[in-house]
Amino acid sequence: MLSSVTDQKFISHLLLNLRIHINNMNTDVFGGRIMDSKTNSISHKTNEMKLSIENISSAGTLPGPAVIIQIEGDINIFSAKALKDAFNDAIEKKIYILLIDLSSVRTMDSSGIATFIGAQNRLSKIPCAGLALYSLTPQIEKMLELTRLKALFRTASDLSEAIRIFSI
């Protein structure tokens, strides 16, 4: 039981701050997704990162369905799960060509790298499947070179080049 007015004010202050923090959190932190039926795309957003996922038609140039995943912000331990979920959702829907736009990624930590490696490993077991990273920022490109992981991934300067990687 609260014994003083000071204790009650302290508890009220804590609850107010907690409420403000929860209200500022995007529902996507808890796995929510925003679907745009007009563009056939899905958006995920956390405090660190925003994902936009767009299905593209193979139109005879690709060996199968593909998605463009645009990432904005920071890929880190707090946001990597949303990215992993997006990769897994695509693969479960038999979309085996993932074109990843990294032009708006500021930073990526080891959990982000692990997420890309995991998706690449999963896709490498499927014929005509893969992941292509394109429009890498200088920071991300340097990080991949320093870790010697750039050779593990297909990289391209832009979306057109990324599509040509998988063209039949």
Pair 3, 42 in one domain: no
Pair 1, 38 in one domain: no
Pair 157, 124 in one domain: yes
pLDDT band at residue 61 under the 50/70/90 scheme: confident
Domain count, the chain: 2
pLDDT in tens, 122-161: 999 999 999 999 999 999 999 999 999 999 999 999 999 9
> Which region among 23-27, 59-63, 93-97 has the lowest average model confidence (pLDDT)?
23-27
The enclosing domain of 160 has a CATH number of 3.30.750.24
Pair 67, 88 in one domain: yes
How many angstroms separate the CA atoms of 28 and 50, rounded? Answer: 10
Pair 112, 57 in one domain: yes
Pair 26, 77 in one domain: no
> Which region among 18-27, 117-126, 138-147, 159-168 has the lowest average model confidence (pLDDT)?
18-27
> Which region among 5-19, 24-38, 60-74, 87-101 has the lowest average model confidence (pLDDT)?
24-38
pLDDT of residue 68: 97
Pair 24, 35 in one domain: no
Pair 64, 102 in one domain: yes
Pair 55, 45 in one domain: yes
Pair 103, 130 in one domain: yes
Pair 21, 86 in one domain: no
pLDDT surpasses 60 at 168: yes
**119: containing domain:** 31-166
Pair 87, 136 in one domain: yes
How many angstroms separate the CA atoms of 22 and 27, rounded? Answer: 9
pLDDT of residue 4: 56
Q: Give the rounded percent of residues in the chain with a pLDDT score beyond 90.
A: 65
